[in-house]
Every structure is written in structure tokens, then in C-alpha cells.
Structure 1
Amino acid sequence: MTSSTAPVPATITKVVLPGIVEPSGLQITTAPAPTPVGSQLLVRVEATGIAFAEQAMRRGRYYGQPEFPFTPGYDLVGRVLAVGPDGDRQMVGRRVATMTKTGAWATHTVVEARDTVIVPEGIAPEDAETVVVNGVTAWQMLHRAAKVRPGQTILVFGANGGVGGILIQLARHHGVTVIGAASPRHHDALRAAGVIPVDYADPNLEATVRRHAPAGVDAVFDNIGGDMAKTSFALLARGGTLVTYAIAKAVSGTGPLMMPFMKTLGQAVLWSALPNGKKATFYDLWAGHTLRPARFRRRLEEDLGHVFELLRTGTITANIAARFPLTEAVAALELAESRTLNGKVILLP
């Protein structure tokens, strides 16, 4: 193992999710510092965050989550303190962003080099954190899944959320008209961002959207699923694409998760086969991670690199709703789950 001039601590602090508990059941613990093996990196975490994934994991409702207890945290930004024996020693001392899925809510953690990208200097850690998983997701859905072109019109559900907030900025920069579906309390902020706001709970949502896009929209980005996916597909113009990237309705429920996922995938295949030129797909951030690792890595570095450059130049901005010390993870999670925020809650170890 190779270390930087910064000391490698003997112990670390981390948040542990012991089981299906309320946010108050989170535990703050200490543990021996982990040692990187292979090409892994030991990172001193500078910023991590709270997304819908961690909220679902708290309820045991995230598909494929590990067995309890575990440390949550889907992504992070931090400095590399040490590398494993097979690692790149030039990474020591570099600021990096890593997609972790779990484990980021800690002062230090070991991460996989293949899921890690160097953060350009000049970007604050907490700003970079807002666009790691959210930025890759938004960029790939817009440019790879839906292939939206300048001059087109899209509908974004969850427009006030972490992914939605980045997606609408990327789309606006790309010359796309954005209709943003969110609760009315977020509409003023959406208007200020150049977005046409609509209420996702409006019983006349389809008619409301068609007032702005009479022929339909060119793409819909849906994080709700269920019946909303049917409405979304109906709102597409000929040749349009529905991108479902979450099934919040099912995840927030109590039944098995496998059936809603399979139904969503089946609907996408069926709807795409209809003779109307429309397409439907389920976006999976981790697709190809195991089966096509070289392509996964190449796209991660390329796509997150685009987003970081736009952030560095001020073309897009970080949307931070609140900042909390890692030791106040309980209050941070409670606020994130209040669904009153516009932006992402950041934890600062």
C-alpha cells in the first residue's frame, strides 16, 4: 500500500443502518480504518449525499441492497490517501468522485478504482458531489437513452429532485424546452430555471401538458412508474422516447419489488414494438458494469467528465438544498425525506 503525505487514520467514523428503522435509528460508530487491496483506493471523504436510494434502503425497499447492517452512501467526493498494491500510485493525493452504491457515509472508505473519476481542480467537493451519480444519470438519459436534439421538448418528472435538477439544466443548455412536473411549492424555482412547471398530481395532467406541446413531447423522463408510465407514454409525440429511471410508487409501497420491475421492463418491450414510432426503455445506471466493464468505465469517465466541465465553467450549477456534518446524519435524512426540498442534502465528513 502506498500512502500520501496525509496520515492514514487508525480509526474512522461511519454511519450504520442497522435494519429497517426510522431515521432516528441510524447509528454513528467508529471502526478500524480499512486497507485497500488490489487496485482499490483509500479515500478521505470530503462530501457525500442523500438520494432516494438511501431513503429506500432504510425501508428495505431498494432492489439488490445488501443485508443489514451496512453503511449507506451511493457516491462520494474525496482525496485519495492510499492505494492497494496493484493500484495506480499517481492517484494518491488526487481528488476523486466515486459511485459506491453503499459505504460513502463515512469519514474514510475504500473504493474501486474502476468506479472512480478524477475531479477537476476548481470545483468544490460539495458541488462536485451533487453531480456524481445524478449527473451521470441525467447526461446518459438525455444523450444516450433518449438522444434528445436541440429544439425538442421534454417532460421531466421529479424536476425538483437531484437527478431532475441536473437534467433540466443539461437540457436547457442543449437548447431543449423543458416541462417540469413537481409539487406546486417548487414551481417558482422551476420558472426561475426556465422550465414550464406542471403539477404531477394534476388529474388533468395530460391536457395540461398538451397545452404546451399539442403534438406531444419528444421524451419523458419518469421516476414514478405504474400508471404514470402509461400517461407518460401517451404524451409522447411520434418518434418520442419514454425513459423510466425509477419506480418510486412501487418502492414507496409494501409489496414485493420484483414484480413491478419485471412489469416495467415488459411494458417497455411491448410498447416499443407498437407501430407508432414511440420507444420505451428502463434506464439502469449500472447496466454493463459486470458484463461490459471496459465500456462502462469509458462512458463513466466521458459522461461525468462532460458534466464536471459544465459545472467548472458555471454553465450548470450545483443545487444544494442543505449541508450537514456526517454526525448529524439523522437530521439530514429526516429533512431529505420531508420532500419539501429543491436540491440535494449534502453530508460533510
Structure 2
Amino acid sequence: MLDIASLKNLLNQPKKIVITTHHKPDGDAMGSSLGLYNYLIQQGHHTTVITPSDYPDFLTWMPGNEEVVIYTDNKERSAQLIAEADIVFCLDFNNLSRINEMGELVRAADAKKIMIDHHLEPEDFDDYRHWDINACAAAQLVHSFITDILDNKKLINKDVATCLYTGIMTDSGSFRLPNTTSSVHRVIADLIDAGAVNYRIHELVYNSASENRLRFLGHCLSSCLEILPEFNTALIVVNKQDLQKYDVNTGDTEGIVNYALSIASIRLAAFIVERDDKVKLSLRSKGDFPANEICKLYFSGGGHRNAAGGQSSASLQEVVNQLKQILPEYKKLLIQ
């Protein structure tokens, strides 16, 4: 493992650097990646952000986005960049399976691997780790990596601040989740001072939905929502036909599970969607209910205690039935 002195020495001269993040990147994944990108290019590093897949249109406005390489669209170029890299930064994930085919390319690369992440149980593939499960976002850790580890706060300019603000804002649920500590607010204040225009960022992320997305949301709430009052649980179940009918694009399902969780009595909410290859689950919970445990034990997934995800190769109805059969095991936690 690299120590801090060796890390600083490694970054002291321009290097070939790849930054990557997890499949179907969210606001924190792209915010932390582009925040780090905009920091590194100031020092002359030859830096490329490579995402394993596409990501929502409401994130494509961030500074540096025009330089992002999407692996599924540019496999040959991506493989070459990874193979030639001196450093690969792995942001907002801690297991190489989370970047799909790219995982083995990163594992085989001679580059030093630097993980910046806040998820449980990291895989041991990295040479340096800036990791804290108590951080509300990977973007918060990128901020501390720049300011505390590298002692370079002066290089957090408007572009860096804008991206990191976006990451923290989205992963903290607009600063309303329990991990939004006073320290997080102090970081946010620093980012605003550095040039992040908070109200404009909120507008770009949250007020840019398509008409189809809004109609799809209405359909989910009116026709796909099921309440299980005996378990204080709500499910939103969406099939492939629904996705086709409303022309659902990447990012259009983001955050819908939170509407189910917003019901006063609900402690666990699930958004279950049928994709072409698998059924995907997004779980959200209140208090100390372990949504991540359910995803890890039963649906080949994981995440945070109150926000987790999983998947299954079973049919949509089989997955719904399986989740319902699991709930009695957690009834005491759900009704307390």
C-alpha cells in the first residue's frame, strides 16, 4: 500500500490518469469523478473519466462532461487508456465487479489503483484507500482527499466545487439524510465560497425532467404502488411494458423509491423493475432498518444501511414474492 508521502510523490509530476466509477453512475459518482478530474487537470495530469455505462441527462451539464468516455461506446479506446495509465482512481465503488467488464481491465493494469469510497466491505484491489463509511458521499471524500491528504485546498476552483457540491447534494438527499452532519455543511459552505452556485445546481438536477418521466412517475404512484401495512412496507413494481410505454431512459427511475418511503408509516420501501436481463431492486429505509442486509443476503447486492440495491435473474413476480416472504423475518424491526 502507498503511504501519503509516496502518494504525493506519485502525483508530483504529470501522469496518465484514468478516473472511473460504478455502472449507471448517479450524481455522486459523476460529481466526485468530474470534481477530481477538474482538480487534476490543473496540475497538468493527462486525465480521462471513463464510465462503465451511460448516465442520466440531468448530470451531463457538469464541467468536464464533454470529455467523459463511455466504455460501452468506446471499448477499444477505454481499454488502451486503462492499460497505459499510471494511476487509476476508483470512485464511489469498492469492488471491481461494480464496473462490469472494465473490472478485469483495471485489475490487470500496471497502474497504481486509488480507491475513494464510502461503501461497506471493500475488495482488496487498491494500492491506496481513502475510505470512510460515515461519509455521506464519495464527493465529500474527494474534497477531504484534496484538502486534507494532498493539502491543496487552493485548487478547489468553481468547476471542482460545482461537481463536488452536486455529488454531496444528491447522495445526502438534498442534505436531509442522517449522515448530513455539521461537517458536511461546513464542506458545502466552502464549496459555495469557491464558486458553486447552489440554487442553480438544484435547478439543473431536480427541475429538468421530461414530460414522459413525469407521466411515468404518475403511473408508478397510481398503478404500481402496493402498501403492506402489517410490515410498514411499500413496493413499487414496474414491468418492461411500463418502461417501453413511457419511453423510460437512464435516470428516469432515479429517486422514485423515495416517494414510497415518504408515506408516514413506511419504514421500508422497494422499487422493483424488470429489465431485459435482470430484475433490479432499490431499497430505502428509515432509522436503523438494514436495507443493505436484505440486498446482500438475498439479492446479490449491498450498499448503505438506509439505501441499497440488488438484482435477481428470477422473474419479476418471483422477486416480488421472495421479498414478501422475507419480510416476516424483519417484522419486529419494521413495526417498532
Normalised to the residue count of structure 1, the TM-score between the two structures is: 0.33
Normalized per residue, the structure richer in helix is: 2
Which protein, 1 or 2, shows the higher relative CO under an 8 Å CA cutoff with sep ≥ 6?
1
Normalised to the residue count of structure 2, the TM-score between the two structures is: 0.34
